[in-house]
Amino acid sequence: MNGSSECSRDAFLGGRLHIFQPRKGYRAGVDPVLLAAATPATPGQSVLELGCGAGVASFCLAARVAGLALTGVELQGVYADLARRNAMENGTEMSVFEADLRHLPGAVKEQTFDHVIANPPYYERHRSTPAEDAGRDVALAGATPLSDWIDAATRRLKPKGYLTMIQKADRLPDMLAACDHRLGSIRVRPVQPRPGRAAELVILQARKGGRAAFGLEAPLVMHEGASHKYDCDDYTSQVVKILRGGDALPWGT
């Protein structure tokens, strides 16, 4: 998979990052970039990405925030290898472990982190049709329940640490149900494709030991206008700043 014929080298953040991804199979798009933008990390903090894939979210976050200690856990060996390759390609240090998040290696279980980030599979295995490519199928509809993702994240968070997760909007009830007494200060930001359209994604933030009231943020609108009329990406100015410039997506706005 690491051969040039099987991978593409794709630009992110306006060319600040270059990421090797499989030409066939799961390929990262804007979602991990939004996840990174919504993570409120500060220089010197530690970040664990569960299901890191090729590492796009972690590397986008590191491009915005200097001095982060990055760790990734990825079930599929092909993608774990790509994450290591992409770390070298972009001059970013990241410890990547090939492991099931339900059975984390000792080197990860011995640590706690300021932030845990995740972009879990969007579809429930029993409600979806398997993809032809095995890697894409695991990435889009893995067998691990969302409750296990959130439990693993919560266990690895430091007190007052943040969980940030992006997911399909119709999975929000599952996410909220999995946030037990250990997590609080929950905030949710809907992501709408266009003005007036229903949200297709949500970004959830929760804090270990948080006590603030639940907050529903103003939606992030991805595209200008009610429909696509021109041969261009027509992203809103805020989204352009995130996708091209690596800007943060602040909470409380």
Q: What is the CATH number of the domain that holds 68?
A: 3.40.50.150
pLDDT band at 193 (very low <50, low <70, confident <90, very high): very high
List, for residues 88-131, the tens digit of each pLDDT value: 999 999 999 999 999 999 999 999 999 999 999 997 644 545 44
The chain-wide mean pLDDT, for the chain, equals 91
Under DSSP, the state recorded for 233 is -
Predicted pLDDT of residue 4: 58
List, for residues 130-179, the tens digit of each pLDDT value: 445 454 444 444 679 999 999 999 999 999 999 999 999 999 999 999 99
CA distance 3 to 161: 38
Residue 145: inside a domain, yes or no?
A: yes
Residue 253: inside a domain, yes or no?
A: no
Q: In the chain, pLDDT over 90 holds for what percent of residues?
A: 83
Predicted pLDDT of residue 150: 98
| Count of residues in the chain | 253
- Residue 11: what are its φ and ψ, rounded to 5°? -85, 135
Total domains present in the chain: 1
Distances in Å between the Cα of 206 and the Cα atoms of 46, 59, 121, 163, 228 are 16, 22, 19, 5, 34
Residue 29: inside a domain, yes or no?
A: yes
Predicted pLDDT of residue 143: 75
Residue 252: inside a domain, yes or no?
A: no
The tokens of 116 are what? 């845990």
> Which domain does 40 fall in, by range?
7-221+233-243
Residue 251: inside a domain, yes or no?
A: no
Predicted pLDDT of residue 225: 83
CA distance 219 to 222: 9
Predicted pLDDT of residue 226: 73
Predicted pLDDT of residue 104: 97
Q: Does residue 5 surpass a pLDDT of 80?
A: no
pTM above 0.85, yes or no: yes
pLDDT band at 15 (very low <50, low <70, confident <90, very high): very high
CA distance 40 to 61: 9
Predicted pLDDT of residue 66: 97
Count of H helices and E strands in the chain?
8, 11
Predicted pLDDT of residue 3: 52
Residue 161: inside a domain, yes or no?
A: yes
Residue 2: inside a domain, yes or no?
A: no
List, for residues 22-74, the tens digit of each pLDDT value: 998 889 999 999 999 999 999 999 999 999 999 999 999 999 999 999 999 99
Closest CA to 112 of 152, 63, 84: 152
Residue 185: inside a domain, yes or no?
A: yes
Q: Determine contact, residues 115/161, Cβ cutoff 8 Å.
A: yes
Q: Does residue 232 surpass a pLDDT of 80?
A: no
What average pLDDT score do residues 67-91 get? Answer: 97
Predicted pLDDT of residue 76: 95
- Residue 142, Cβ density class (10 Å: 0-12 exposed, 13-18 middle, ≥19 buried): buried
Q: Which residue has the tokens 């296990």?
A: 148
CB atoms within 10 A of CB 159: 10
